[in-house]
Amino acid sequence: MVLARLLPRDERFFEYFRKDVDNALEVAQSLRDLLENYTDVERKARRVRDLEHQGDEITHQIFDALNRTFVTPLDREDITELAGRLDDFVDAIEEAVRRIRLYRIDEPTEYARVLSRIISDQASLFACSVPLLEHKKKWDQLLHCTIDINRLENEADEVLGRALAEMFDGAEDVRGVIKGIRWGEIYQHLEDATDRAEDVANTLERIVVKNA
């Protein structure tokens, strides 16, 4: 017991994760703003890119703290996995935004807007649930959030299916086909973000089950 008290400790992991989910929420909200208020696309895309870099820095801080710390509040592999899953979520959003800018999309589709709302709602649930890891008495509330995240991912699957089914509607020439293909890629990256959100939820559930 005396030795454990002398070993390097770092109780800031929960603080890092709060920063991480707040950043992820801002990325998701920026995506939603881009698609629902489709103006100043270059500036908004740069904002998402900058936030993605900011998320990378937070992830680096988490891994650096792991390397310096012997006693951690959660298992090291759980900290590593949760940080990686959150990073994957942000990366998927950034890639969708990059394609939107690269392809010079004239106007977002309603399917893209719906997917952005789902992603934003999932990120809001992150921001509410991840901080609850620090409070074991609130883990039931955390699990309810993960259920909602998974439900939203199922909704995104349905939206993607409808979007892909209509992807080439009205495509009467090569340009129309290319436009459909490009939207197919964007839809897939948006749906990938909802999958990565589900990965975060599943990681949270495993942490709770392991430590309950």
Percent of the chain with pLDDT over 90: 71
Tokens of 62: 């988490």
Q: What is the pLDDT of residue 84?
A: 96
H or E stretch at 136: none
Give the HSE-up count for residue 48: Cα atoms under 13 Å, Cβ half-sphere: 27
Of 212, 186, 205, 185, residue with least CA distance to 85: 205
Which region among 39-48, 78-87, 160-169 has the lowest average model confidence (pLDDT)?
A: 160-169
User: Residues 157-171: pLDDT tens digits?
Assistant: 999 999 988 876 666
Residues of the chain with pLDDT > 70: what percent? 91
Q: What is the CATH number of domain 10-205?
A: 1.20.58.220
CA–CA separation, 91 vs 96, rounded Å?
9
Largest Cα span, the chain = 76
The amino acid that residue 113 corresponds to is R
Domain residue ranges in the chain: 10-205
Q: Is the pLDDT of residue 85 over 70?
A: yes
pLDDT digits (tens, 9 = 90+) for 97-149: 999 999 999 999 999 999 999 999 999 999 999 999 988 899 999 999 999 99
pLDDT band of residue 11 (cuts 50, 70, 90) is low
Q: What is the mean pLDDT of residues 184-195?
A: 95
Under DSSP, the state recorded for 134 is G
Per-residue pLDDT at 210 exceeds 80: yes
Q: 190 pLDDT band (50/70/90 cuts)?
A: very high
